[in-house]
């Protein structure tokens, strides 16, 4: 369905610098190159440049086919952080493409579940592992559901995937590998692989070790006797019948069709076959799959297709700069991020510089949250000034072209320090401060702020509070804090954050702190038990001038450092 929010954005989109628009322009070039002849391409370029995209699509029927985006899902496990990124990043490019084409060229995001893969490894986080052990190597959709809720383990994980994606509001078409093979949708490409078997083998064999080469086949037959996915050599092929002969588990020579779900393809040929059969135009992949992509692209060409636009993203690292591994359990889970931060902050983190390696650990959440909030505020300021969306702003991509008109009047880092100073354990305690600072504000009128309050309490309890280390002020710091108390006491009633901040600056300068940030570090370490904090004037304005004076006096009396 065409979105009015995307109308009239093609000119801006052609000039936009953010990476989703860079990829969208490459994708449009691909669509024009593959679908149109030279004369049609010139006509399309002329009309698109003139902003007459609807006319180009009406005139050139080939442009009415959707540009197909795809991401894959391994159905032997539950959805996780990588699953979110796999869907979020192509969605950002898809939205940029829709703006570039003003939604005239249809688009589709396919989420493809590899649920016909054999279950090779039993996950650690499931019950009834003995039952799964009995079903090992069967297609995941033929493995019994250890949770007893669905007809198979694959169906269980697919349901979890769809609920996961629906919960984040993704617009997608779900496809099951099992259903796609069994329905015959892959039959034409499977028969083509049978026909061009030698070409596919010539591409694959140099990528394999000597032992693997001896038995490799692009076809993984499903044993008619055990139902298991077999790594078995193809001994004979019959092109007329569309069959292969292979040794079954007991050595019996067995003949099966390559069509209708009797075989599954090895994953690199499978990737190529999927691109070819589904006409995939765009799929992002991790840097660790660069070589596999090149191989699959060569196979796709051998099948008469062409690999999609495939930008590669860097992998996430843990706090020790080690690659995140599901088996090691290092890094963050989805559930952990969403305990401490909004889904939008996670989407923003996925948006940032996908070609740069990033740490994915707890301490990135506050920074990502405040950066997201800052971008949202900047977007809304620009929207108010120009009455046009700032489409290079990350908030535009995070919110799929429709950012909310209101963010949070208080930063996440400031909330964390307010929680710390007040030792707040409930939202009510924090809102007592916020309502004085923001007259008329309530959880209902500031829903995002209310969410952040809950996240801040969780983060403080789990990470900040256990690590708090108060210290005594030295002589210069003590004198400066005594001066600050005097200045705070002299402030007029209702002094705003800016006035308070100016006084704090003047105290630091008068005390000779160089650089001045050493003065603020001293305030945070002595008063809050941590080395960093928010803008101090804003903190005082929310926490309250008299409460801040009392906090400083407690620190000067040694009560905080000994607590």
Q: Could you read off the pLDDT of 73-127 as tens digits, one per residue?
A: 887 776 778 888 899 999 999 999 999 999 999 999 999 999 999 999 888 778 9
pLDDT at 389: 84
State the Cα–Cα distance between residues 334 and 349, nearest whole angstrom.
Answer: 13
Query: What is the residue range of 381's domain?
Result: 317-398
Structure tokens at 69: 């985006």
Q: What is the dihedral of CA 285, 289, 293, 296, to 10 degrees?
A: -120
Mark whether 382 and 422 lie in a shared domain.
no
What would you measure as the largest C-alpha separation in the chain, in angstroms?
Answer: 96
State the Cα–Cα distance between residues 462 and 454, nearest whole angstrom.
Answer: 13
Q: Is 201 inside a domain boundary?
A: no
Mark whether 374 and 430 lie in a shared domain.
no
State the Cα–Cα distance between residues 108 and 172, nearest whole angstrom.
Answer: 7
pLDDT at 436: 87
pLDDT at 562: 66
User: Closest by alpha carbon to 115, among 149, 48, 161, 84?
Assistant: 161
Helical packing angle, 475-490 and 545-556, nearest 10°: 160
User: Closest by alpha carbon to 160, among 123, 191, 209, 186?
Assistant: 123
pLDDT at 73: 87
Q: Is 136 inside a domain boundary?
A: yes
Structure tokens at 99: 């703006």
Q: Is 19 inside a domain boundary?
A: yes
Mark whether 22 and 98 lie in a shared domain.
yes
Mark whether 369 and 503 lie in a shared domain.
no
Q: How far is CA 112 from the centre of its chain?
A: 17
State the Cα–Cα distance between residues 345 and 370, nearest whole angstrom.
Answer: 8
Residues 401 and 95: beta-carbon distance below 8 Å: yes
Q: Print burial letters for 470-507: b (CB count within 10 Å at least 16), e (below 16).
A: beebeeebeebbebbbeebeeeeeebebeebbebbeeb
State the Cα–Cα distance between residues 242 and 545, nearest whole angstrom.
Answer: 82
Mark whether 104 and 131 lie in a shared domain.
yes
User: Closest by alpha carbon to 106, among 44, 49, 57?
Assistant: 57
State pTM to two decimals: 0.90
State the Cα–Cα distance between residues 347 and 352, nearest whole angstrom.
Answer: 9
Mark whether 102 and 228 lie in a shared domain.
no
Q: Is 386 inside a domain boundary?
A: yes
Q: Is 283 inside a domain boundary?
A: no
Q: Which residues have C-beta within 8 Å of that of residue 177, sequence separation ≥ 6? A: 75, 112, 113, 114, 115, 116, 117, 264
pLDDT at 150: 95
Mark whether 112 and 223 lie in a shared domain.
no
Bond into 515 cis (ω within 30): yes
State the Cα–Cα distance between residues 84 and 73, nearest whole angstrom.
Answer: 10
The number of domains in the chain is: 5
pLDDT at 298: 97
Residue 526: give its domain's CATH number. Answer: 1.10.10.350
Question: Coil, helix or strand for 259?
Answer: coil
pLDDT at 266: 97
Mark whether 19 and 123 lie in a shared domain.
yes
Mark whether 18 and 159 lie in a shared domain.
yes
Q: Is 288 inside a domain boundary?
A: no
Q: Is 458 inside a domain boundary?
A: yes
Mark whether 325 and 249 lie in a shared domain.
no
Mark whether 494 and 418 lie in a shared domain.
no
CA atoms within 13 A on the CB side of 42: 2
Give per-10-residue mean pLDDT for the chain (563 aa). 75 94 96 95 92 93 96 79 89 97 96 94 86 95 95 94 92 97 97 98 97 96 97 97 97 98 97 97 93 96 94 79 58 84 95 86 91 96 83 96 94 92 88 91 95 95 88 96 96 92 96 94 92 86 93 92 66
pLDDT at 304: 94
Mark whether 29 and 151 lie in a shared domain.
yes
Element (H, E) at 110: strand 107-113
Q: Print burial letters for 509-536: b (CB count within 10 Å at least 16), e (below 16).
A: eebebeeeeebbbbbbbbbbbbeebbbb
Residue 86: give its domain's CATH number. Answer: 3.40.50.620
């Amino acid at each position: 369905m065409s979105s009015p929010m995307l109308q009239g954005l093609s000119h801006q989109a052609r000039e936009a610098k953010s990476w989703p628009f860079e990829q969208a322009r490459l994708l449009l070039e691909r669509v024009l190159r593959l679908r149109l002849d030279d004369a049609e391409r010139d006509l399309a370029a002329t009309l698109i440049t003139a902003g007459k995209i609807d006319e180009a699509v009406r005139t050139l029927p080939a442009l009415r086919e959707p540009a197909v985006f795809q991401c894959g899902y391994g159905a032997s496990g539950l959805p996780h952080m990588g699953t979110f990124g796999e869907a979020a990043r192509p969605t950002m490019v898809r939205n940029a493409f829709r703006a570039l084409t003003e939604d005239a060229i249809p688009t589709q995001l396919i989420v493809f579940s590899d649920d016909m893969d054999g279950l090779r490894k039993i996950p650690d986080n499931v019950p009834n592992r003995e039952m799964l052990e009995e079903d090992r190597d069967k297609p995941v959709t033929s493995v019994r559901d250890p949770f007893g809720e669905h007809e198979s383990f694959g169906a269980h994980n697919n349901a979890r995937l769809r609920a996961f994606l629906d919960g984040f509001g993704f617009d997608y078409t779900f496809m099951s590998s099992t259903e796609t093979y069994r329905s015959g949708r892959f039959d034409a490409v499977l028969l083509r692989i049978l026909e061009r078997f030698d070409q596919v083998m010539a591409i694959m064999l140099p990528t394999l070790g000597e032992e693997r080469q001896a038995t490799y086949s692009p076809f993984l037959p499903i044993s008619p006797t055990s139902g298991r996915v077999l790594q078995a050599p193809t001994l004979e092929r019959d092109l007329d019948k569309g069959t292969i002969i292979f040794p079954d588990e007991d050595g019996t020579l067995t003949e099966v069709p390559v069509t209708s779900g009797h075989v599954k393809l090895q994953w690199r040929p499978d990737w190529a076959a999927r691109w070819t059969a589904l006409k995939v135009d765009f799929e992002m992949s991790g840097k660790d799959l660069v070589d596999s992509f090149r191989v699959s692209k060569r196979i796709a060409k051998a099948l008469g297709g062409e690999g999609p636009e495939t930008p590669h993203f860097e992998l996430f690292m843990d706090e020790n700069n080690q690659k995140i591994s599901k088996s090691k359990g290092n890094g963050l889970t989805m559930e952990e991020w969403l305990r401490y931060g909004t889904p939008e902050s996670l989407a923003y983190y996925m948006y940032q510089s996908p070609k740069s390696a990033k740490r994915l650990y707890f301490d990135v959440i506050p920074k990502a949250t405040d950066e997201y909030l800052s971008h949202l505020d900047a977007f809304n300021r620009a929207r108010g000034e120009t009455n046009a969306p700032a489409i290079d702003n990350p908030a535009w991509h995070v919110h799929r072209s429709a950012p909310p008109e209101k963010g949070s009047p208080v930063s996440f880092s400031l909330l964390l320090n307010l929680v710390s100073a007040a030792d707040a354990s409930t939202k009510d305690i924090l809102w007592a401060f916020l309502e004085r600072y923001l007259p008329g504000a309530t959880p209902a009128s500031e829903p995002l702020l209310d969410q952040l309050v809950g996240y801040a309490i969780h983060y403080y309890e789990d990470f900040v509070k256990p690590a708090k280390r108060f210290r005594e002020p030295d002589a210069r710091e003590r004198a400066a804090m005594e001066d600050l108390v005097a200045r705070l006491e002299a402030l007029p009633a209702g002094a705003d954050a800016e006035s308070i901040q100016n006084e704090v600056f003047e105290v630091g300068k008068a005390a000779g702190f160089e650089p001045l940030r050493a003065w603020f570090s001293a305030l945070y370490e002595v008063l809050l038990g941590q080395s960093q904090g928010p803008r101090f004037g804003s903190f005082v304005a929310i926490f309250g001038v008299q409460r801040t004076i009392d906090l400083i006096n407690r620190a000067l009396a040694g009560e905080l450092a000994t607590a």
